[in-house]
Each structure stands twice: as C-alpha cells, then as structure tokens.
A and B are shown apart, each in its own frame.
Chain A
Amino acid sequence: MRTNKISDEERIKAFKLAKKPEVIEKQKLNVRYHVEDFDVNDRPRRFLEAFAAILKHSNYRMALDHYSRVVSRCALCATTCQIYQATGDLEDIPCRRSELLLNVYRRHFTLGGLLKGRISGKDFLTDEKIQEMADGFWNCTACRRCTLECPMGVDHGLITHLGRYILSEIGIAPRALVVSTREQLEGASRNTSAIPIPALKDTLEFLEDDMLEEKSVNIKFPIDVDGSDYVFFPAVSDFLMEAETLMGIAAVFTATGDSWTIGTGYYDGINYGLFYNDRIMERIIRNVDEETDRLHGKNVLIGECGHASRTAKNFMPTFCGGKDARCVVSILEYTHKVWKEGKLKLDPNVVTEKVAYHDPCNFARQRWIVNQPREVLKSFCKNYVEMTPSGENNICCGGGGGTVSIDEIRPYRTTVGGKLKADQIRKSGCDILVAPCANCKKQLRELVEDQGINCQVVGLHDLIYKAIIFDDSLIVKKEGLIFDKPDFSSKEEN
C-alpha cells in the first residue's frame, strides 16, 4: 500500500510533548493535549459507569451491537485515513482504534462478553486502555472519511465521537475545548471567544465604516432586530479573525434586502459539544434556539462553519421540537439560493488568481453542501481548479473534530493531520484556497504556513465581498460619505 509517511524529523516535531513530567505523573495521563485536573482514582470503574449511563439514555447501543457483529477487520480503512497515511503507526488504523471501544463494549456490556470475562477473568478495562483511548480518539479528526471505505459501513467517526464523550464524562477532554464551552455556557460573555457585547458592537461598527469607505454602500450588521427572517450565528471567532467573511455576508444581505440580525443575547454558532460531549452539544443548541425565540426570528442562519452548521442543522430538530423545530440554513445555502435567483451580481474580473475549493468534512461527507459553493465560485472565478479527491470523498484539513482549537498540538496538526491536505494543495497549485469553515480556515492557514506553501486561505464570502456589484440605488453619493456613525439602537433593517 502507498503511504505518505512523514519524515523522522517531522515525527519528532509532531509528537513533542508540551507537558511537564510532573503533570503527566499527577494526571496519570500521557496525551499531547492539556487536560484539566481530574479525579484519577478508580478511572476504569467511573469510565464504565459513564458508559452505562450513556448507553441507557442514547442510541449508541444499537450501533455498537451492529458494528460488533459485522466488523471484518479487512484493513481497507487504513488506506483512507490521513492520520494513518502520515504516521504509518498501526494504532492509527481506524478499525483498530474503534476496536478499543468496541472491546470494552463487548467485554462489559454484552452477555457473551460478561460470561467470557467471568470465566477467563481477563480483559478488564484498565488504566492503560483508558490511556490508549485518550490518545487514539484525539488523534482522529472525526472526519468520517474512513466510513466510506469500510465495506461493513462501520462509522469510525461515530465511535470516536462516543469514545470522547465517555472520556469527557470522567474528566478527560482537551482543556482548550472545555474552557471555551464553560465560557459559552456559564461565563458572562456567553461565547467561546469571550467577546463582550460592547466589543462586538465596536467591531461591527468599525467594519461598517470600512465597508462604506470601500464599497460606498451602507452595509449594516443589524443588531437585535425583532422578527427577522434570519438570526445569524457565526463561529464567534469570525468577529476576531474573519472580518472579510462577515463583511461578505453583510454585503450579500444588503444586495438582497432580506432581513437578518445578530442577537446580543447569544451570538456564537460554535458547538464544541459535537467534538466531545453530547450533553454540552444539547445545551448549546438550546441557546441558539432560545435566542432565535427571543428575537422572534424565523430561521437560524449559521455562518461559514462546517461543524456549527452540521450540529444546528442535524440537532435542532433533535433537541428543539422535532419536526416543528425551526429551519436551519447555512449561509452557503442562502448565498447559493439568492445567487441562483439572480439577486447577487458578481464581477468576473476581480478575482483572477487560481482558486481552489476545500470541502469542509461536515458539509460534504453526507453530500449536504458540495456543489452550491462551487457553482457560485465558478461563476466569477475564471481560474477555478478542482482538487481531487473532493466532495464527499474530500481529504480533511487535518484540524477536524475540534483538534484545531487545541493550540498546543499545532505541530501535530500541521505535520501529521494535514499532511495529505498539504500535498493536495501543493499539487493543485492554487493561489487562493477557499474554505468556508472557521475551523478549516484556521487549520489551513497554519498548515500552509508551517509547510511553506504559498497560498492564501479565505472564506467564500471573502471573495464574494471583493466581487460583489451593488445596484446603483444602493451606492451612497460621495458627498454623503461624511461618516455618520451607524445607529445600532435602530430597530429598522437596512
């Protein structure tokens, strides 16, 4: 089999531990990510308790039973996993990793396993096995690409998801994610980047001024507008890092005239729950729903973010009203729709560089959003190139499954996780890589930087912002450009 292994040097870099030996000793855990201190006593028992509780109140048992019966150990999944391809470590073969949890399940939660265990007195869950899981499940980026390759249809991403969930219930979860969600759910700012409302308003005001100057159009970020069609939840980090994306989105709404708003009660679309804990995920989804309720909004609109869109789309009906749940729209779907309706005019002469599109796994793996952004891009980027494989078969950016937010593992992400992606980007020769996902963008930027690839990583709306052509009626006459401060208290939509 062809593997694409990293060099020895890269390996040393990727696997360098950022932690002090005392910490490892104290936490009885040797993993690359930082973990908050947790009760280290009796871990196996507590793991099993958490596992039992989760099985009782979830649907995982059905999948685990099915998977335990069908796994054939053919090793085909090894050929797709970007992690295994890069490390060549047999522990990184998806099926092998999934077996870590399936074995615990068989041994402790099935009749046959319990009997066999009783008789042989072997195969108890041990601290070492928990250590292996804590390592393995956070090596995986939960991109679910291997699922497509598995002839038995085993969803290794689901098993990673469940494994992390159980581990987090006993305190083993990356501190970066836990701290962020704590701020989001229990902190004063109610968002993962801890952006207070005044700072948010300042930022938006500043962007509005910028846009007025650049485009001569009064492009607004409507705040707390009651009864809008769309209540907007971007990955909150966009307010800090992706100004152009936000400006592009605001520009699209200005061009179409549809009503949208950002709510100051809750404005974070990020949902790290998807990456490590279903309970957390549920709470975050409920917050999104409540804020939309408060503002009497019709639809939830999620910004350029794969995991935020997928969680809202898939789990809003789960946790907030079944088939009566409110509609969740991704900004990619919205923009594609209005573009198709002819409401969005894009100048084909602005973006002349070679442009490629990266599919965020959470959009493409289930064939949800694959062609829509491509159609829009191709309509105004003359020099569009396709990377292969793409679409549902795309290669993960290497920072999926929340790993991108764990800064201390950056070397791992950019040498191991993103190795295949880096090769793919290099091969495409693109100057601009469009990745409509906050996570992918962060990871890909770090990846191209660390790998020395000369390419700019942007969002879809960054390019739209550049190329958008506004109706003459929207253009503010030059003399009107005496920058009046935009009025945020206004309930009117522009």
Chain B
Amino acid sequence: MESLLDFARGPLFRLCFTIMILGLARILSLDVWAIYKAYRKAGDKRMPWKLILSRAWEWFFPVKRISRNFQMYSVISILFHAGLIIVPLFLLAHIQLWKGSVGISWIALPYGWTFSLTIATIVLAVSLFIGRLVIKQARLLSRKQDYLWLLLLLLPFATGFICSNLNISPQSYQFFMLIHVLSGELIFILIPFSKIAHCVLAPLSQVVCAVAWKFPPKTDDDICTTLNKKGAPI
C-alpha cells in the first residue's frame, strides 16, 4: 500500500498534473486561436472592451450576479466554486508537498479556515447534488456527467478531511489517502476533456460573444455560391 501511495503521490501525480496542464493549454490555445481567426475574418474590428471586461469581471466576483429567482441555488453554487479553488490551493499540507518536491511555496490558510472550508465545500457539493435533483428545471437539463462530477469532486474533499482530521489507524489512513490522491488525479486528467474546462474557457466567453456577432463581410455572396442560390429570389 505504501509503495502504491508513493507511486500515486510521485510519478503518477506528476503525469496527471502534466496532462491537465497540457490539456488545458491545448484547449485554451485552440479557443484563443479560433477567436483570433474569427476576428481576422470579421468585417468590423471594433471591440467593446469596456463591456467585455466589466462583464467578465462581474463573473469573477459574482455578487451582482446572484440569480434573483434561484437565490439559494445560485449562492450555493458560487460558494462551492470558491471552496473548490481555495481549499486545495491554500491548504498547508499541499503547499508543503510543493515545497518539498519543486521548492516553491506560497501562503497557506490557517488550519481552522481550511477545516471549516472543507466541511463547507462538502456540504455545498451535497446540496448542489440535491439541488440538481429537486429543482425540476435543473433536473431536466442535467446529464449523467453533471451528477457524477459532483460526486467525483466530493471524493478528494471527503477523504482529505478524514485523513487530516480523524483519528484513524495508519492502514485506514493510507487507504483514504490513496483514494484522496487517486481521485484528485482522475479529476486532473478529466478536466481538459470535460465541461470542467470552463475553468479556463469561461473567462473568454464574453470575448467569444462579442466576436461571434462580428460577421465576415461577404456572407451573402459566399453562402449563395456554396448553396447554389445565386440570383435566386428571396
């Protein structure tokens, strides 16, 4: 078990992490490249940067964006995202691992904070899961993966919490730690190939929207030629 854990924490982690970074880089560059190509083709090059930036900014701190009608659901979702980013990134134990292996470190959140944030994130994930089930609009739209993702994201949080806060036997500790690490790694691998890619793509949505409304200058002619509609009456 121990060697397996070492393997999972060491080479496997590096592999998965690299896959995630490369995958996200790929998807991000594809997106940016597509935006650039569309922009090149567009007849109108003016860009409403003020609007784009202000709307993108609003979504970074979506206080203004809390849905009036789905208040609870919306707040839960926002907090869940915050927990999802903050806990793994600012957990002392994680930072220490980074320091030990690559030598970089950054400020960590105090123990009490990460403790409560972890619990909060778990509760929020469960509530979102329930939300998707009980809100009829959300239930209708949800695909299998939307539920599975919540469960998968829950796993490293729950196991991480068990390992760092509960008094358990070393064997159980290793077992839960292994699940913690492996589930985290599975998430890493899946991120670039799933809807979670929105973590890097969503900030571009406002630019996408602005550029998508900019059309190439000769649409009529080109499409008529392709569809054999030249000179056809309306």
**Interface set of A (CB-CB < 8 Å, partner B):** 1-2, 49-50, 53-54, 56-63, 65-67, 69-76, 78-80, 90, 93, 95-96, 147-149, 151-155, 158, 169, 178, 181-182, 185-186, 278-280, 282-283, 314-315, 317-319, 322-323, 325, 366-367
Contacts and interface: CB of A to CB of B under 8 A. Distances in A.
A70 B198 contact: yes
Contacts of A154: 205
B216 A93 contact: no
Interface string B38-56: 1001111110100100010
A282 B34 contact: no
B137 A90 contact: yes
B35 A185 contact: no
B46 to A, nearest CB: 7
Contacts of B217: 318-319, 322
Given A79-B67, A325-B44, 19 more contacts: A49-B227, A53-B223, A56-B222, A58-B215, A63-B211, A66-B205, A66-B208, A79-B68, A79-B69, A90-B137, A151-B202, A153-B206, A155-B209, A155-B212, A278-B219, A318-B214, A318-B215, A319-B43, A322-B45
Given A62-B34, A69-B27, A73-B142, A57 B205 contact: no
B34 A61 contact: yes
Contact of A63 (B42, B212, B218): B212
B79 interface: no
A59 B197 contact: no
Contacts of B146: 72-73
19 contacts: A2-B69, A57-B216, A63-B211, A66-B31, A66-B204, A70-B202, A72-B195, A74-B138, A90-B137, A93-B140, A153-B59, A153-B202, A154-B205, A182-B234, A278-B215, A317-B43, A318-B42, A323-B46, A325-B44
Interface in B80-96: none
A93 B137 contact: yes
Contacts of A59: 38, 41-42, 211-212, 214-216
Nearest to A273: B220
Contacts of A80: 67, 69
B226 interface: yes
Nearest to A181: B234
Contacts of B138: 73-75
Contact of B208 (A62, A78, A96, A178): A62
B51 A70 contact: no
B77 interface: yes
B119 interface: no
A280 B34 contact: no
Given A75-B141, A79-B70, A314-B44, A279 B34 contact: no
B219 to A, nearest CB: 5
Contacts of B213: 158, 314
A147 B220 CA distance: 27
Contacts of B38: 59, 62
Contacts of B10: none
Contacts of B74: 76
Contacts of A57: 216, 218-219, 222-223, 226
A322 B217 CA distance: 9
Contacts of A75: 70, 135, 137-138, 140-141
B195 A71 contact: yes
Which of B146, B209, B222, B224 neighbours the largest number of chain A CB atoms within 10 Å of its CB?
Answer: B209
A70 B197 contact: yes
A178 B204 CA distance: 36
B37 interface: yes
Contacts of A185: 234
B208 A282 contact: no
B51 A69 contact: no
A279 B204 contact: no
B201 interface: yes
Contacts of B233: 182, 186
Interface in B179-234: 195, 197-198, 201-202, 204-206, 208-209, 211-220, 222-224, 226-227, 233-234
A151 B70 contact: no
A315 B27 CA distance: 30
A320 to B, nearest CB: 8
Contact of A62 (B37, B46, B141): B37
Contact of B219 (A67, A96, A282): A282
Contacts of B45: 317, 322-323
Contacts of B55: 148, 153
B143 A153 contact: no
B51 A147 contact: no
